[in-house]
Amino acid sequence: GAGELFTRYGVRSVSMDDIARQLSISKKTIYQYFKDKDEIVTKAVRARIEFEKEEYDEIFDSSHDAVEELAKVSKCMRKDFHEMNPSLLFDLQKYHPKAWAVWLDFKNKHMRDSIVTNLKRGIAEGYFREEIDPEFMAILRVEQVQLVFDNQIFPSDQFNLKETQMKLLDHYVHGIVTEKGRKLYMEYLEKEKTLNQTSNN
């Protein structure tokens, strides 16, 4: 419940009273299980990351090729960033160093390793350009994801978080694919669009 509030409104603007109201319990009850808000934030971030690991691992396990992985990640990101508050990562960095350390560990290990694996697979399949340096591109990509949360670079009153993340992903994809890979990526996106239209009708 706290995690949902943090995602939607940012961490700083959510109080212990807000969390108690969201869960329909007293603040006293919360303090029986958690020392303070910082502990709740850290555990909420850990829980969110575990969920995302499972979600992305499932994508990599079920995809037929590296391009399908990218198309599914694109769909996943659209869903994940839909209601996310742009101040979320800034709040963690400034006010909750333990939770920030958990995020950095996830970004610099799990996310980066997953991208390196995807790039190597795509190169081997002939869908990604063979001259790409997977380690370099993986660092660039994870930093892109974090960059969008920087309000000085992308002010939230001018840039929509989800739309900006999707533009950067699109830019990244078109920078790594071969012509064969680009065609396949567009096919997957078209298929996804058709499925969405069918389910909405």
Taking the C-alpha atoms of residue 168 and residue 141, their distance in angstroms, rounded to an integer, is 9
Q: What are phi and psi of 106, to 5 degrees?
A: -65, -45
pTM, rounded to two decimals: 0.85
pLDDT (tens digit per residue) in 108-166: 898 899 999 999 999 999 999 999 999 999 999 999 988 988 889 999 899 988 899 99
The tokens of 135 are what? 């380690």
Q: What are phi and psi of 11, to 5 degrees?
A: -85, -45
| Stretches in the chain below the pLDDT threshold 50 | none
